[in-house]
Amino acid sequence: MSEFIDRSTFDHLVHLAALELSPEQAEYLLRELNNQLKAIRELEAIPLDADLPVTLHGVPYTSSISPTLRSDDWQPFDRPQDILAQAPQAEDGYLIVPDIPHTTLE
Amino acid sequence: MELCDLPAYELMRLLRQRKISATEILASCLARIETIDGRPGSLEPGEINEEDQQTVHAFITLTDDRARAQAMAVDKKLAAGEDPGRLAGVPFTVKDIFCVQGTRTTAASRILANFVAPYTATPVARMEAEGALMVGKVNLDEFTYGSSNESSAFQPCPRNPWNPQRVPGGSSGGSVASVAAGEAVLSLGTDTAGSIRQPAAFCGVVGLKPTYGRVSRYGLIAFGSSLDCPGPIARNVTDAAMMLQVIAGPDAHDSTAANVPVEDYLAQLEAGVKGLRIGLSPDYFKITYPDERGEYVQQAVPQEFEAAVRHAADLLAKMGAEIIEDVPMPNTRYGIPAYFVISRVEAASNLHRYDGVKYGYRTMEPVRDLNEMYRKTRAEGFGPQPKLRILMGMYVSAAQYSEQYYQRALRVRTLIRRDFDQAFDPNGKYRLHALLTPTTPTTAFPLGAVYGDSVLMQYADQLTVPANHAGVPGISVPGGIATDGLPIGIQFLAADYQEALLLRIARAYEQATEAESWRQLKPMVLQR
């Protein structure tokens, strides 16, 4: 468990993350990622019992403190135009985006 | 002393006696901002000049018109003999990570620089409903990712009012700077690894991270959804208690806002510490971090930090508290490595929504198709810190690495939680009401000294992050001034939903130190 993030793995991550990087930024980010990974490795040395559970929230949520579920009702927002006004490009209530690439499945 | 320097409780007393008006209080804060804040953060700052280096720069957006209308409404209610609310006439700032309807809500990022929120976050709405005056949206690290505010896309970034060559801390840097400098009386911040407590310590103010789920996250732009806690920043414990009273409680819009009754935080505030058990842990008097070669080194916190904590313990003991030494918190050192994994996975997940389609920034470059638009938009819109978090989050949660990293970090989180469970267990060996620690391992560092080294920057949170993993509440209060002239913060941590107890202990300490000489010292920007 001593692998580092190599250049091809890094490039794959950048692609999956829908990013593009300048060479200088790529160099900085790859170096920092590997430095962080070194810090993360400290976790490997901790002995963990096989039955140790995960913790997703520090504070336990019991039925008594979890909010009761509300009914799944449609609640209209009273100013939809304020939401649409935030879109970089919209027309007739639709969001406009560049061409969506299509792949024909065999 | 100007009105803007008075405590909120004192302003409200004078207001209700009709000796001052809300409009006068606001005018005092706006005048202070005009005098010492300098220009607000912007995406095109040009050169940072000599004057910029002497001013605070807490703000991204000043909402003075909104605050004036609110102040007039408060004054009108008072004139009509109506109740103006529990925070009437108190000016506050909002970390620009909370949505406030009709205001620019930027997260200090280019990708949201033009976003005008269509709705208001619950804690902000609750403060405004109680008559508080929203003065503006204040700067932070981009998407809260940092401990110094230097990563903000809006420059000049905030500077420490105690010494403008130092960082204010982060990520709630604009919040603490605005409160420390008297530009506002209260501020709403968030704490994911220490982002309220660490900057509060750096700027000599009170910062409270409530229990996870105590304050609604509705309208908060998410970072680490299992860790984020909105909370109050104030200049004294009573003001923090008054603010928490208003913002805490269940919320139909947030399913993680716990259905737990909100205690009366003011009723017990002056009850003292007699009979309370307050612990000290050797694991909070040292930090562990990787050196340049990646080897782990342990270092004691500076002697004057340990002395400030032990002095606080002595004072509390004199008031009747029982001090319990040597409480083991052995998993404290794993807080940062586990945080590097958990927070990155959650951040990456939360950052996928910024795509140039629904809101925010979209590239101006010509693009062939949607995918290229996504890539260029995110490349241009995100700064280096969000990019780092996306890439790390995706790596450590990838199917082939998840067991080794993400699942393991979540199990280490269980160990960190157990440290607190054992310390606070009412039937256990220690039976603590609170743990007393330093808030940070250093005072505020110089601008440029750490920024860029993403690992060292993260280790600034080593003494605060365990409470976020465990979900427990914590408060940082001013605990002295170090030999470098900068504030030292001390921290109290308690069990789930024990905010009333935390505030009570912090208040007792505050009272006991009221006459100490360091309390008379003022931030450098207020001495000119």
Closest alpha carbon within chain A to B372 = A18
How far is it, in rounded angstroms, from Cα A54 to Cα A32? 27
Q: Please check the confidence at residue B368 and state whether its pLDDT lies above 90.
A: yes
Contacts of B367 in chain A (CB under 8 A): 98
Find, in chain B, the residue whose alpha carbon is nearest to that of A71: B252
- Is-cis flag, bond preceding B438, omega within 30? no
* Over residues B355-360, mean pLDDT: 97
Average pLDDT, chain B: 97
Q: Quote the CA–CA distance of B258 and B142 in Å, as a whole number.
A: 28
Nearest-CA residue of chain A relative to B451? A32
In a domain, B187, yes or no: yes
Nearest CA in chain B to A83: B118
Determine the pLDDT at residue A1: 43
Q: What is the ipTM of this complex?
A: 0.94
- Return per-residue pLDDT of chain A as tens, 106 residues: 456 999 999 999 999 999 999 999 999 999 999 999 988 988 998 999 999 999 998 999 999 999 888 888 998 999 999 999 999 999 999 999 999 998 888 8
Residue B513: inside a domain = yes
Q: Would B135 be classed as within a structural domain?
A: yes
Residues of A in contact with B210 (CB under 8 A): none
Return the minimum-mean-pLDDT range out of B32-36, B402-406, B471-475.
Answer: B402-406
Asked if residue B441 is part of any domain, the answer here is no
Q: What is the pLDDT of residues B74-131, one digit of tens each?
A: 999 999 999 999 999 999 999 999 999 999 999 999 999 999 999 999 999 999 999 9
Q: List b or e across A53-83, with b for residues whose CB sees 16 or more CB atoms inside 10 angstroms.
A: eebebbbebeeebebeeeeeeeeeeeeeeee
Return the closest-CA partner of residue A54 out of B416, B191, B254.
Answer: B416
Contact B435, B463 (CB under 8 A): no
Best of A43, A44, A95, A100 to mutate (most B CBs within 10 Å, chain B): A43
User: How many distinct structural domains can be found in chain B?
Assistant: 1
3 state DSSP class of B315: helix
Domain definitions of chain A by residue range: 21-46
Pairing assessment for the beta strands B206-209 and B474-481 based on DSSP bridges: antiparallel
Give residue-wise pLDDT tens across range B406-458: 999 999 999 999 999 999 999 999 999 999 999 999 999 999 999 988 888 88
The pLDDT value given to residue A2: 52
Interface check for B212 against chain A (CB to CB < 8 A): the answer is yes
- Token pair recorded at residue B341: 């994994």
| Residue B496 touches partner A, C-beta closer than 8 Å | yes
Distance CA A46, CA B347 (A): 25
For chain B positions 437-466, those within 8 Å of chain A (CB to CB) are: 453-455, 458
Amino acid (one-letter) located at A63: S
Nearest CB neighbour to B212, from listed A14, A44, A58? A58
For residue B168, what are the domain limits?
Answer: 3-255+264-272+496-526
The CA distance from B469 to A59, in Å, is 9
Whether B95 is a known active-site residue: answer yes
Q: Are B381 and B361 in contact (CB under 8 A)?
A: yes
3-state secondary structure B26-68: HHHHHHHHHHHCCCCCECCCCCCCCCHHHCCCCEEEECHHHHH
CATH number at residue B76: 3.90.1300.10
CA distances from B91 to A52, A73, B29, B244, B367 (A): 47, 38, 7, 15, 46
Of B337, B395, B471, the CB nearest to A42: B337
A43 chain-B contacts, CB cut-off 8 A: 334, 337-338, 341, 405, 408-409, 412
The whole-angstrom separation of Cα A1 and Cα A30 is 18
Query: To which H or E segment does residue B436 belong?
Result: strand B434-438
State the nearest Cα–Cα gap between A101 and chain B, in angstroms.
6
B209: annotated active-site residue: no
Task: Flag whether B28 is in a domain.
Answer: yes
- Which positions 39-68 of A are in contact with B (Cβ < 8 Å)? 39-44, 46, 48, 52-59, 61, 64-68
Question: Can you give the pLDDT at residue B459?
Answer: 87
Report yes or no: B115 at the A interface, CB cutoff 8 Å.
yes
Tokens (6 digits) for B130:
């109680």
pLDDT, residue B1, reads 87
**Location of structure tokens 């700077």:** B177
Q: What is the mean pLDDT of residues B261-285?
A: 98
Per-residue model confidence as pLDDT tens digits over B15-24:
999 999 999 9
- Give the strands of the sheet with B229-234, arranged side by side: B59-62, B133-138, B91-95, B186-191, B229-234, B206-209, B474-481, B487-493, B434-438, B277-279, B322-324
